[in-house]
Amino acid sequence: MTKIKSFEAKEDTYKTFKALLAKDGLGIGDKFNEFMENYIRIYGDGKGTSTLDQFVDNEDMMVTPAFFDSNEIWTKYITSDQINAETIQKIIWKCQTIGSRSQKFLDYGTINVRK
Q: What is the pLDDT of residues 20-34, one digit of tens each?
A: 999 999 999 888 888
Classify residue 2: in a domain, yes or no.
Answer: no
Domain that holds residue 63: 50-115
Q: Are residues 70 and 106 in the same domain?
A: yes
pTM attached to this predicted model: 0.42
Q: Are residues 77 and 87 in the same domain?
A: yes
pLDDT, mean over the chain: 80
Cα gap 28→36, rounded to integer Å: 12
- Please name the residues in contact with 113: beta carbons below 8 A apart, sequence gap of 6 or more: 106
